[in-house]
Structure 1
Amino acid sequence: MDSPPPTTDRQRCIDACNACADACDRCAASCLREKDVQHMVRCISLDMDCAAACRFAAGAIARDSELVNTVCAMCAMVCHACAAQCETHDAAHCKACARACRDCAAACDRMGLAAVQAARPAAP
């Protein structure tokens, strides 16, 4: 059975997830080039977790997974944690990553809410 074509909101969320994953990859790579890498360990770790979560969420949305609500909620949670960590650093790559994470979290929150509303039975 083919997945339905993505709606605008679904495609926006997929795009936000992919953009966030890319920003997290760039941030982690840039953090590894910082002079005090030890100071960046948590940032790098969360970047890696966030990139993986975002790619997983983008795939779940594209596949029209029955678990999209749960996956998007998880992705938003990881994005919020990564953004909070990146915001503690002054590096431009961390600031850019934090913005991408906040955008992705908002898109995933909207997707999760839409999935919950769609699953609710119609009122009598």
Structure 2
Amino acid sequence: MSREQIEQCIAQCLACMQACNHCFDACLREEEAPMMADCIRHNRECADLCAFAAQALDRGSSYARALCRLCADACEACGETCLKHASEHCRLCAEACFACAKACRGMAA
């Protein structure tokens, strides 16, 4: 992979991390926060894995491909969960998750 491709994937990971953190916070403020438990859980896990994958890519870690596969799985699960909710923050999070999953799948190939 070229450095440009790595940088693009890192950018997608960081954008997804931010979207998940925003969604996580917004879900906690929802009146039905207990009903959002799966979304909140996925947001937290996805954000953490995106940050970890971005760091691994930036360092050229020998585990970067494996972490990108795991990150893509987490992003897809989070995106699917967010799509179940009507809120704008969930929709934006799902978009970021699917974009990150695509970029990470490309890095993991």
Q: Runs (4+) of structure 1 moved beyond 6 Å?
A: none
Which position in structure 1 is the counterpart of 2:27?
Answer: 31
Q: Tell me the alpha carbon deviations over residues 59-92 of structure 1, each in whole angstroms, 9 at most, x when there is no partner.
A: 0000000111100000000000000000000000
Name the CA distance, whole Å, in 1 between partners of 2:4 and 2:84.
33
Higher RCO structure, 1 or 2 (CA under 8 Å, sep 6+): 2
Which position in structure 1 is the counterpart of 2:76?
Answer: 80
Query: Which one has the largest radius of gyration?
Result: 1
TM-score (norm 2): 0.97
Shift of 1:7: 1.0
The answer to whether the aligner puts 1:109 opposite 2:102 as a matched pair is no
Which position in structure 2 is the counterpart of 1:55?
Answer: 51
Aligned length: 108
Query: Could you tell me the percent identity over the aligned residues?
Result: 40
- CA root-mean-square deviation: 0.8
Query: Can you give the 5+ residue segments of structure 2 that lack an aligned partner in the other structure?
Result: none
Query: Can you give the 5+ residue segments of structure 1 that lack an aligned partner in the other structure?
Result: 1-5, 114-124
Comparing both structures, which one devotes a greater share of its residues to helix? 2
